Each structure stands twice: as structure tokens, then as C-alpha cells.
Amino acid sequence: MAPHAAEFDVILDAAAIAVHVDRLANEIARAFGARSIVAVPVMTGAIFFAPDLLRALVRHGASIEAIRPVSISSYGQGTTSSGAPLVVGLPPRPAIEARHVLVIDTIVDTGATIEVLGRELDGLGATSVRVACLLDKVVGRVRPVAPTWRGVEAPDRFLVGYGLDAAGRFRSLPFVGAIRGRDHHPTAADSTDHLPKR
């Protein structure tokens, strides 16, 4: 059964998302200037945010050399963390070495994902590793990291939509919303930074 809008409190609607994406792209393009970027979207959570941001970056004059998506596994099919996130499909060293890397993720929560991915990319010889996210859930941070660019600070609620899911559901919603009555009960998800909670 399709989800009903009344099930959610909308945190960012489609229009607000578009505004933040365009602002982020402008800031990022200005920061990189003429330097080429290797984009590393974190899947599956960034399935909508990454292409929107990348198209906006091109509109703002950024030079995207390559797009190298990765996947992060921390829950598998369970509802509790299996430990430190595992990066799946890490790009080969020649794709990263001596390049400026932009990690793209819809949400940064505990910081475990960007900490592990940043360490892996540094190990491949990246000149710089920076992170762009739409949602920065500062209240959930347990690692000493932060995104370089963020759209908004996220509330302390379990968020779905625009790539974020709850046990595989709600990922395709065109907005970011909180499920009413489920704020502090995360379920299994294969997207982004869910360790030990989103």
C-alpha cells in the first residue's frame, strides 16, 4: 500500500530541497574553483541527492572528472549494527590518487560512515576529501567528524524519503519526512550512516 502524506511530518519539501541543493552546489563550485572533482556518492541513501547535486554543480561551473559511487554496509538485514561500517566497491587507487574527492551523502548522523570512508580515501592517496550532505544530524554525532558543507541541521527524529528508508520503505518519497510515532525506533536500512542509530 502506498504511503499517505498524513503518516509523516514533512521536514523538507521538494521546493526546499531544491533551494538547498542549489545553494550547496554554488558554495562547493566556488570552493573548488578550477580544480577537478572526483565525486563519491554514498549509495543507496544518496540515490536522489547525488544526481541533483551533481547536475547543480555542473550548472555552477564545477568540473566533475569522475563519479565513483560506493556502498556502505553496517546493518545488513538486521536491526542492530554489525560493527564499523564496511565500504563496498571502493574505487581503485588510480581513480583517487592525487585528486580532490567530494563525498556526497544525504545524511550525516553518527559520523561513522564519513569517518571510515574518509580514512579509506585518504589511504588511496586523495589530495583532499570533503563531504557534502543535505542533512546534518549533529545530535546523533558520536565520531569527531563533520561534513564540509550541509544543507540544514536535521532534527532528532527518524527521517525517511529522498533516498532515506526504513526497512526498504519510503526511499522514493519526494520529500524528507519523519514518520509519526517512530521517532526513536530506527529499523533496518541499507542506506548511509545508520550506526548505531541514524
Give SS3 for 121: helix
Which residues pair with residue 40 across a beta bridge? 103
Catalytic residue (one of 109, 136, 165, 193)? 109
- Nearest-angstrom CA–CA distance, 124 and 129: 11
Q: Report the DSSP beta bridge partners of residue 180.
A: none
Neighbours of 24 (CB within 10 A): 23
What 8-state DSSP symbol labels residue 184?
A: T
Quick check: is 13 catalytic? no
Q: Which of 112, 166, 163 is nearest to 137 (CA)?
A: 112
- Residues paired with residue 67 on neighbouring β-strands, in sequence order: 39
Residue by residue, DSSP assigns 23-34 as HHHHHHHHHHTT
Integer Cα distance of 97 and 173 in angstroms: 36
Active-site residue numbers? 109
